[in-house]
Structure 1
Amino acid sequence: MNVTHRAGDVWVRKMDVLTVSERVSDPMISQEALREMLDVVLEERWREMADSPHTVMEEVRADLADAGTFLSSGQIERLSHSIAQAFGGVDMGFEDDLIVAEERRAREQEEIRQRAEERRAREMERLKEWEAHLVDFNAVPAILRCSRREALRWIAENRLPVAKRETNAEGLETFFFDPSELKKCRPLVNAWRKGLSGQAEHEDDNSLKSRRGNAAIARVAALDRFAAHFRTARSLKRRITLVTGPTNSGKSHTALQALAEAESGVALAPLRLLAHEFREAMLSNGVAASLTTGEERIIDPTARHLAATVEMCPFNKPVDVAIIDEAQMLSDPDRGAAWTAAIMGVPARHVFILGAADCIPLVKRIAELCNDPVDEIHLERKSPLKPGGSLALEELRAGDALIAFSRREVLDLRAELMTHNRRVAVIYGALSPEVRRAEAARFNRGDADILVATDAIGMGLNLSIRRVIFSTLRKYDGRQTRSLTTQEIKQIGGRAGRFGKHEEGLVCVLDGAGSPNFIRQMLNAPPEPIKELRPLVQPDSDIVQAVAQEVDTQSLYGVLTRIKRAVLRPDDPNYRLADMEQALEIAAALEGVEELDLPTRWTYAMCPINTRDNGIPRLVEWASIHAKGRAIYPPGTGRLPASATASREELERAEKRHRRLVAWRWLAMRFPKAYPDLELAERNATILDEWIEQVLRTQSRMRENTRRQQGRNSAPWEKKKRRSPAPGKKKPFKKGKRS
């Protein structure tokens, strides 16, 4: 491995070297002979990966890019030679074709990057020029030829187009105006003085432009009147029933019953896995239902019910009943805006909103903004939830769930438990919903004794857990490492003591990981007060296009920058702008891709990607291929070794490939011509799901069998550990064999 990495052959993996070592029979073998054997193993790997050298090159390059590794021209040449050798095509020009194709791709990506930088700079310059020519209120009376009092009144009446608002440290707000827009308002001043609307018959072309300009600005500023954006919902007489309660209180039962009895309805879930469960619940009640998620659709033409993820809420088709689950997600900085839109916009006559008690103030605020009446139902937990003290790792028993907050910690704890002969199931965010469900089923059946999981178990899985044990009471939330909140302790700990399976649920902490008193305090604490009652909002495609029309640009980066700076002021009394940093970052990178219209760019900016594994550069590359009218075919599965021997590195690589397929399938649902062969993508995703599940299941079973063979004479793990004698006391001597 050291020799190959010093040579820069970063595509050589540990498994390749182990395969070579298994074939070595000569203890005095030379480095040259080892290298020849490695070349043979690599060629076998390339042939297993795909049917063509170009596809192999793409897969290898994508895997390396996921890990943050990018190839130099010399590395591309050596890798091309190896792949061409595998397909017997060195003399047929495969190697030259691969090198030329990679050089062309690298050149195109560099051109895109340079264009993006130039256009971003140009947009920022336009924005600065626009802001530089704005004037404050003091200039308005002179431009309109009116008094200060008249100008103030017309601002209060929303007649004057405010271009930008700023709030200083003392909380005082300053308005800025575009002089050219103010001049367009001059013909309307006399009508405004008479209290008229300003739409007199004698309006000239300038006044028409003014009204159109004001209408465009109204559309641009629609984020501060977000509820009005959902016209179908506002046209209905909606009634909201807010059902709150802790985990395991049966919140969904009443709502699902009302949904099944309704002639039409929609159930909105936070996860694809939960959307499937909603659909299955309706089907089990004899109700035909379709399914829509970001990457999957199951359409029943006879169905009048739909299960969907929150982001896929249908806003234009009225129904009788809607369910929106996990409403405490309203406070989530990444996805909260989707819950705001769903609650405000779902066109249902009766809306059931389900969630923890923490969501009550926010839901009521949204209902107030929508003028919808709210009924409240609060449910209590069906089985008691109690603090359970601290436990050592070896004291964990069947039915326990051990909670960590990163993939690495989950796999480390899994490995440690397996050395103690535990059968372990795992659940963490990088696993697909299908694998999570399979691991949950394995735990519920008793095929795994202990579940090791992240807070991914907090939503959407029915788990027969007796005790929840936190391996730490602190977590990194993407911004900082902090103590767990009351809601997190209750949401995750509440998975313990499932009604009908266990009489009570216990919430514990691992020895040395924190104080049991902290758990007790959090379980007994009231819901944490929500400091910010303004719901999160974000623009949609219509708003983006309206802003683009107003500022006269087709640059998505320019539009999003303007929205962030000017459309919704920071101290707006009703709404706050959601975090748009990832969308802005994607938009900035897409600036260099030509021939994509604004709605298409916006769709790409909304694609679910992970920025930590090369998500944005890959998205830009796909977009550039799309813009040229060429097809982007599904990512492959790569070479999947035997599940029994797969390393943690290979498991992580498979998870990243699956995420690549998730993004591809999401785009294929929106651009089927550019992203053909969805069936192949779904097959590849299924293969990866099954392999990952096989790795997790097989390795646990193999470790268990090995431990049993090694320790047939040792006491089973369920028995208590033998205690060492107290200091100063001798261990009693007993004759005969130990029974």
Structure 2
Amino acid sequence: MDVASSPADRAVAHGAAESGLTPTDREIPRLTRLVARALAPGADQIPVHEFERCLCDVRRKEWASQLMNLARRAGEQWITKPDILEAVARMHDPRATAEALRQVLDGVVAERLRETAHTPRAVMESIQADMNDAGTFLSGGQIDRLAQTIASAFGIEDVSFEDEILAAERARREEDARIEARAEARRARENERLRAWEESLVSFNEIPAILHCSPREVLRWIAENRIPVARRVPQDDGTEHFLFDPEALVRLRRNLSEWRGRESGLADENAPLAGRKVGNAIIARVAALDRYAAHFRTARALQRRITLVTGPTNSGKSYTALNALAGAESGLALAPLRLLAHEFREALLSRGVPASLSTGEERIVMPGARHLAATVEMCPFHNPVDVAIIDEAQMLCDTDRGAAWTAAIMGAPARHLYVLGAPDCIPMVRRIAELCDDPLDEIHLERKSPLRAAELPVRLSELTQGDAVIAFSRREVLDLRAELLARGRRVAVVYGALSPEVRRAEAARFNDGDADVLVATDAIGMGLNLSIKRIVFSALRKFDGRQTRDLTTQEIKQIGGRAGRYGKHEDGVVAVLSDAGSPTYIRKKLAAPPEPLAELRPFVQPDADIVRAVANEIESDSLYGVLARIKRAVLRADDPNYRLADMEQASEIASALEGIEGLDLTQRWNYAMCPVDERDNGIIRLTRWASDHAAGRPVPPPGTGRLPQPVHADREELERAEKRHKRLVAWRWLSLRFPEAYPDREMAETNTVILNDWIEAVLRQQSRVRENERKTQGHKGPRRDVERSGARRTGPSAAPSRAHAKRRRPS
């Protein structure tokens, strides 16, 4: 080593000589800096153990890289980055060999495995579930290696455990292969059935011979909707070629004398429709997708009155309707989210009105209660009530969930129905009232406190108590949170992957002043009572699951309207972060009238009754075949009144379930409606659960996995816990519909509470740690306002740096 020229250089040279260690040229610069910090004033030497500690700190990055490469070459995908970082942090000998490092890593992994679950088999299931969520599937050899690792962690020397795991995995994979083979064969059969049906259809010219009537009569009966059109095939010249089902036509022959005896006119509600079988009373349900209002018999039997209450956010819509609901002898409150259903119930209870609760994953039955709070998808269509409320009616335009609002507004069995929403929903609700032949009253409310656009953009350093920053992906929310924490700010967060309980807890932290700033996705625009003074957009464009586009007028009003809570703030302010867009754009959108709807046909989708009826009509027990027929033939694309909702995920689940024997059509439909996330391999997991159900094997609830101390949890572990929570949501949803197949609901509830508490603690604890660090050592982090990760772009055309995929229905 060269002659030392500084105290730190001399200390490094002395330490190397005393310890017998030779730092590499790459290590010396950082080692010198660390040694300089360890030197006492005026000294040029440090103890050997201090020198070795500094050298260990320098070498940990290289050690971590070595261990990661070793683990990946061995195919040990279950070894995580936190495992490796913990292992190198425990190594205090700079002479450590690869074997010594591996030994420490094995000990760390063994500890984590023992903390993951109480039994080796549960550990195996938990790790595989986490890895499947991340899109990683282990080979047979990797399963064998993982089983050995788990057995070693639990001190199991008997190889029978490993043999059992391997046998179970082989059996599972063989079953998966059989299911997929059967599914492929059944899909092919159903596709052939559909093709044969389409080829059997006849044109208009062939109908007179089949019905023994004149062409003029055929034309009249088609116009009267008595003869069903099976398919409409678009032609190049813009016209359509009508095709008809000959079997359906033959069954209509017995009605000819009755038709000829009547005057021409539109068919009544009991007129024969597509594919009617003689005496088949459920054909009204089969036809319900093109005459959807008639499907809700209880609602149609009532003398309903609809009151549409519209207004911007913070105009008191819910308060007006809740007073009417609380004063009724019986009632129903339908909310878009489980969290809001709870709020409706609490509002009724606070008014002295007993109320039960029904959401996709939970039930609270209050004896004697004649009021119910529920999510929109759980609307009870057969129990008449005096008053019903349906909130957030602008969701009618949502391609994923809009059909649920159509069904609720058309089918809510209430004598007086209050529909609440933003002004944008007015044309659609008017159209639905017309289709239902229900009288409609309209009430428009004005905002209780003024809302204005900020004059200037806002820097991160200018955020103050009561501000809420809006981002459009989970990653952007957590990036903003990390940056604000580094600045010493206390931060609460709200985004879709968090459970309702955690979202509510985070909202409470913000409202109570325990957090300075709220960072949230646009989920903030629906529900949650938040005392926000100023809304600050981090971008003026979002990815909506299909494309990246500018925020709409309604989105800016709905989200921005959360600012200036009445009774808390004199006014509300809507702003944008520096270089993320123009305040002028926000000002124009806030002042703009509602954007006209390009499409006024409400979304519709089949329910269990319609699915069973169509299956009966086409004589098939295949859900895949039924949904394919519905998509191809039951509701044409140009229907004047309705449009078919996006059934893509339901069809994918139905396709995956085709190979499972032992589930009836209704059970398959329930599985197809289960809230799962395709991005986390939710359909694969759902299929395996359904396979166990069909085989009579109870499906155990998902576990919590290993949960480290909240203060030490990183973002990856937080995301893993969120995914485990989503598994539990799906499991609990199914357990309400199949309690015998999903029996241990108590454990599922316990695991849900554990995960919720842990996630909440992570979000809360990290804010406290940052605050304590700021108080003890002052803020030293970079102050980046305009260059944050290079993500700032100007104008409404500035696209967010990350897109998020569409999510499954909220619970």
What is the Cα deviation at residue 588 of structure 1?
Answer: 0.6
- Taking structure 1 as reference, are residues 450 and 187 closer, same or farther at Cα in structure 2, changes over 3 Å only? closer
The letter of the residue matching 1:614 is N
Partner amino acid for 1:272? R
Residue 276 (structure 1) aligned with residue 342 (structure 2): yes
* Rounded Cα–Cα distance in structure 2 between residues aligned with 1:290 and 1:274: 14
Structure 1, residues 590-643: CA drift from partner, whole Å, max 9, x if none? 111111100000000000011100100000000000000110010000000111
Q: 1:72 maps to which residue?
A: 139
Residue aligned with 1:88, SS:
coil
User: CA offsets, 1:506-545, max 9 Å, x none?
Assistant: 1001111011111011000000001111111100000000
Partner of 1:442: 509
The answer as to 2:582 corresponding to 1:582 is no
* Residue 2 (structure 1) shift: 2.5
User: Per-residue deviation at 1:561?
Assistant: 0.4
Between the aligned partners of 2:279 and 2:222, the Cα distance in structure 1 is: 16
State which of 393, 410, 415 in structure 2 corresponds to 1:344.
410
**In the alignment, structure 1 residue 244 sits paired with structure 2 residue 310:** yes
**In the alignment, which residue of structure 1 is the partner of 2:540?**
473
Q: Answer yes or no: is 1:548 the counterpart of 2:609.
A: no
Is 1:167–1:571's contact at 8 Å kept on the other side of the alignment?
A: no
The 5-angstrom pairing of residues 111-510 of structure 1 reads 111-168=178-235, 170-190=237-257, 192-195=259-262, 212=278, 218-388=284-454, 389-510=456-577
Structure 1 partner of 2:152: 85
Q: Distance in 2 between matches of 1:582 and 1:210?
A: 29
For the aligned residues, what is the CA RMSD?
Answer: 1.9
Matches of 1:281 and 1:637, distance apart in 2: 32
Matched position secondary structure for 1:503: coil
- Tell me what 2:32 maps to: none
Mapped to 1, the partners of 2:763 and 2:346 lie a distance apart of 26
2-structure distance, mates of 1:188, 1:589:
41
Q: In the alignment, is the contact (CA less than 8 A) between 2:488 and 2:779 conserved in 1?
A: no
Q: Distance in 1 between the 2:285 and 2:746 partners? A: 40
2:467–2:534 Cα contact (<8 Å) kept = yes
Q: Which amino acid aligns with 1:62?
A: A
Pick the aligned partner of 2:108 from 41, 64, 73.
41
> Secondary structure of 1:390's match?
coil
Structure 2: any 5+ residue segments left out of the alignment? 1-67, 265-274, 785-811
Separation (CA, whole Å) in 2 of partners of 1:713 and 1:165: 69
- What percentage of aligned pairs have identical amino acids? 69
Question: Is the 1:361–1:533 contact (alpha carbons within 8 Å) kept by the matching residues of 2?
Answer: yes
Superposed CA offset, 1:216-236 (max 9, x none)? 655422211111111111111
Going from structure 1 to structure 2, the CA distance change for 1:196 and 1:434 (only over 3 Å counts) comes to same
Q: How does 1:565-604 map to 2 (within 5 A)?
A: 565-604=632-671
Trace 1:665-704 onto structure 2 (pairs within 5 A): 665-704=732-771
C-alpha contact (below 8 Å) 1:81/1:90 kept by paired residues: no
Tell me the secondary structure at the aligned position of residue 463 of structure 1.
coil
Q: Structure 2 counterpart of 1:52, which letter?
A: T
The answer to whether the 8 A contact 1:223-1:538 is kept is yes
Deviates more, 1:67-76 or 1:10-19: 10-19
Give the drift of 1:142: 2.4
Moved more, 627-636 or 214-223: 214-223
Give the conservation status (yes or no) of the 8 Å contact 1:50–1:56.
yes
Q: Structure 1's 195 and 377: CA in aligned 2 closer, same or farther, altered over 3 A?
A: closer
Which amino acid in 2 is paired with 1:702? V
Structure-2 change in CA distance of 1:656 and 1:486 (3 Å): same
Does 1:517 find its partner at 2:579? no
1 CA distance for matches of 2:766 and 2:408?
42
Alignment check: 8 A CA contact 2:330 2:385 kept:
yes
Task: Verify the 8 A CA contact 1:405 1:454 in the aligned structure 2.
Answer: yes
SS at match of 1:91: coil
Q: Is the 8 A contact 1:230 1:344 kept in 2?
A: yes
* Counterparts of 2:210 and 2:465, CA distance in 1: 78
After TM superposition, give the deviation of residue 286 of structure 1 in Å: 0.8
Structure 2 residue corresponding to 1:55, chosen from 122, 144, 147: 122
Counterparts in 2 of 1:271 and 1:41: CA distance versus 1, 3 Å: same
3-state DSSP class of the match of 2:396? helix
C-alpha contact (below 8 Å) 1:213/1:550 kept by paired residues: no
Matched residue type, 1:483: D
Letter in 1 for 2:127: V
Q: Which amino acid aligns with 1:372?
A: D
- Cα deviation, residue 187, structure 1: 4.9
Please list every run of 5 or more consecutive structure 1 residues that lacks an aligned counterpart in the other structure: 198-208, 718-739
Aligned length: 705
Q: Deviations 1:404-440 (Å, cap 9, x if unpaired)?
A: 0000000001111111111111100000000000000
Cα contact 1:166–1:569 (8 A) shared by 2: no
CA deviation string 1:197-225 (max 9, x = no partner): 9xxxxxxxxxxx97528866554222111
TM-score of the superposed pair, with normalisation by structure 2: 0.85
- Distance in 1 separating the partners of 2:391 and 2:533: 25
Q: 1:292, 1:308 within 8 Å by CA — same for their partners in 2?
A: yes
1:621 corresponds to 2:688: yes
Deviation at 1:460, TM superposition (A): 1.1
Q: Which residue of 1 aligns with 2:96?
A: 29
Alpha-carbon contact 2:285-2:295 (below 8 Å) kept: no
Match of 1:609 among 676, 699, 708: 676
Deviation at 1:332, TM superposition (A): 0.6
| CA offset digits 1:355-395 (Å, max 9, x no partner) | 10000111111111111111111111111100003111111
Return the alpha-carbon distance in structure 2 between the equivalents of residues 713 and 331 of structure 1. Answer: 48
Task: Choose which of 146, 162, 176 in structure 2 pairs with 1:109.
Answer: 176
Structure 1 residue 23: Cα displacement: 2.3
Instruction: Identify if the C-alpha distance between structure 1 residues 412 and 211 changes in structure 2 by more than 3 Å, giving closer, same or farther.
Output: closer
SS where residue 135 of structure 1 aligns?
coil
Q: Is the 8 A contact 2:309 2:445 kept in 1?
A: yes
Matched residue SS, 1:595: coil
Contact kept in structure 2, 1:330 and 1:536, CA below 8 Å? yes
CA separation in 2, counterparts of 1:314 and 1:607?
Answer: 18
Distance verdict in 2 for CA 1:272–1:713, change over 3 Å: closer
Secondary structure, counterpart of 1:391 in structure 2:
coil
The 1:410/1:674 distance shift into structure 2, 3 A limit, reads same
Runs (4+) off by over 6 Å: none
For 2:344 and 2:211, the matched residues in 1 are separated by: 59
1:626-641 matched pairs, under 5 angstroms: 626-641=693-708
Contact 1:181 1:213 survives alignment (8 Å): no
**Letter in structure 2 aligned against 1:304:** R
The whole-number CA distance in structure 2 between the counterparts of 1:393 and 1:170 is 57
Give distance in 1, aligned partners of 2:289 and 2:481.
47
- Aligned pair partner of 1:532 in 579, 583, 599: 599
Q: Deviations over 1:172-219 (max 9, x none)?
A: 33321122332344455455444499xxxxxxxxxxx97528866554
Q: 1:211 to 1:673 in 2, by over 3 A?
A: closer
Against the structure 1 CA distance between its residues 450 and 211, is the aligned structure 2 distance closer, same or farther, given a 3 Å change threshold?
closer
- Are the equivalent residues in 1 in contact too, given 2:511–2:531 (CA < 8 A)? yes
Q: Which residue of 1 aligns with 2:13?
A: none
Q: 1:700 to 1:169 in 2, by over 3 A?
A: farther
2:277–2:617 CA contact under 8 A, matched in 1: no
